[in-house]
Amino acid sequence: MPSRPAPLNRLEVLAALRISNWEAVHSTVHATLTTGAFQTGFALWLGASNLAMGIAGAIPTIAALAQLAAAYVVEKRGERRLFTAWFSLASRIAWVPILLIPVVAPEPARLPLFLLLLLVSSILINVPAPAFTSWMADLVPPDHRGRYFGRRNMLAGLTATVVSLPAAWFLDLATKKHLFSNTVAFGTLFGIASVFGVLSFVCLLRQAEPPMRRTEGGAPRGLRALIGFYRQPFRDAGYRRLLEFSGLFSLGQFIAAPFYTVYALRVLNLDYVWLQVFGAISSLAALISMPVWGRLSDKFGAKPLLAIAVAGTATLPLGWVVTSSERPVLTLVMLIINHLLGGLFWAGVGLVSFNLLIASTPSEGKSVYVGAMAAVTGLIGGLVSSTSVTFTFARASRSETAEVGRPLAFGVLAACTALFVRVLGATAVLHAPLAIALLPLLASPFAAGVFATLIGLRRPRQERPELQTQRNPLQIRAALEMAALFQVVLYAVGAVRAIWGDVGLVVSGAILGLADVDALMISMAKTAAAGGSPAVPALAVAVGILSNTILKMVLAASIGRRPFRAIVTAGLVAQAVAAAAAIVLFR
């Protein structure tokens, strides 16, 4: 086990903070060249579909789970510097084999290999995240956190601005003007990124580490102690509220985040330079505002400032609604304003939420709190759905009285019925002809759900007892358990489409419907908008909803108890039969 670091004096702390600023510069260069538009462009060049882009967007979600296991390792080691440095280096060096993919891998294997290496790199960079956060929390004086991290983030933003524009110009020389091959362009960018990954590693080795404040008794021993170790953050009422907020906030990011760059490249026909101009505008706004957010955070506290920043980010997606390739001037103006405001508000969210997390967690065992936050916020996005409600209410029916099972059951049926309205509304926005084609396919199962829900509403009030314990239908544990199943299914879709191609569209819809109806809608809307009849994409969506209904029926029947099990199963059987009949009649 590594020796325990000695306490740091003031000069050592100041030196370590200066080195950390340089580490932020080097790691930002790597991140800038391997994420965002550059990563998306590389995936698209390898032939990634919207579905593959959705999988790539889900990889950080899967990788965040590594932080939970890493928290235990950190507590056991009692050391963070070497742990952080070596895992970070491994993650960033993984981009060397990625840059070699177009050279050494046969064309059919390139995209799957890229997704696999991206997953490995993402897991490796998530492993040291709790250790690094705990390390920095102990290193930075509490009354200077806002100002220090504001300055550090400002340097990172300035670095991203300086790096991104020349890199985008260089990439456009290959992709737009064809002065050299895409292999050379992406390989050069990823190679430079790997070099700066090594420089970041050197800085981490030189940065001093204060003694780590471990949980009492050190790392847990035995299964019961290990379970108690991971349950520790969830016993803290204040931390649970922060988790709930972070999870709900991540929902909005998770749904659409992987598709903004794809939309800009494919639908708006923007080039990489424009994407990096927008990024530079965001970075400039962040550079100007970051120190202000830091000073205000130190003066007024994190919570009120976080509320302001979050409210601002909620308005940003509206700017994309009016964009169109047919109105290029309006589109550019709106996106410039959008990214200017985005830089301002996201700078506040990133800085203030980080400071709030550090301030809301105890010094002892901080790594497990950080790991739990990263895992939950990554996984809860996309899980606020009728499937999650079915799963959670089915579990609740086992611990409540039998009388409570009835209102829980009809609540599930109402959530399942609302799914049809949400699907039609979303597809109407994404691609109206697809919504029109879906209407006859979804009308009959929607009517069956409405009828079943009305039966529950017509019951006399005295027959609808209150829950003995009020439960949140978006429970963290339920979300984590459902996410584990969902992410496995997402990868199965990629295999089906790789084998069957476009012929397997309906089969892909059936599989993806088991995991994420929202991702299915987006993928099929894009397919329909690309040309041709919307009939096949509509059929794929309808089949996906049918498979989702069957999954919820199995969950209710296998997990719930009577009368919840009987009511939900009967209602979902009616919806499934109506959906199947509509598919047969209107396909």
Domains of the chain: 10-380 (1.20.1250.20), 386-586 (no CATH)
Q: What's the one-letter identity of residue 9?
A: N
The position carrying tokens 């089915």 is 394
What percent of the chain has a predicted confidence (pLDDT) above 90?
A: 15
Q: How far is CA 556 from the centre of its chain?
A: 27
- The pLDDT confidence band at residue 485, using thresholds 50, 70 and 90, is very low
Distance, CA of 536 to CA of 239 (rounded, Å): 47
The stretch 47-52 carries a mean pLDDT of: 71
What's the Cα-to-Cα distance from 273 to each of 33, 164, 185, 335, rounded to whole Å? 13, 9, 14, 14
The position carrying tokens 């599989």 is 511
Distance, CA of 117 to CA of 105 (rounded, Å): 13
Q: How far is CA 49 from the centre of its chain?
A: 19
| Burial grade of 422 (CB within 10 A; 0-12, 13-18, 19 or more) | middle
- The pLDDT confidence band at residue 193, using thresholds 50, 70 and 90, is very high
The stretch 313-342 carries a mean pLDDT of: 87
Q: What's the one-letter identity of residue 198?
A: V
pLDDT in tens, 256-308: 665 676 678 667 888 766 876 787 788 788 878 878 887 887 778 778 888 88
Helix residue ranges, H only, 176-271: 182-206, 223-231, 237-256, 260-266
Would you list the DSSP string of 328-339? Answer: HHHHHHHHHHHH
Closest CA to 212 of 142, 138, 140: 138
| Cβ neighbour number for residue 272 with a 10 Å cutoff | 26
- What CA dihedral angle connects 221, 225, 228 and 233, to 10 degrees? -20
Q: Do 204 and 81 contact (CB within 8 A), yes or no?
A: yes
CB neighbour list of residue 517: distance below 8 Å, 6 or more residues apart: 385, 419, 423, 544, 545, 548
Q: Is the pLDDT of residue 172 over 90?
A: no
Token pair belonging to 436:
């029109």
pLDDT in tens, 412-456: 777 677 778 767 776 776 677 888 888 888 888 888 888 876 765
| Cβ neighbour number for residue 255 with a 10 Å cutoff | 19
Closest CA to 96 of 241, 193, 222, 224: 193
The stretch 167-182 carries a mean pLDDT of: 84
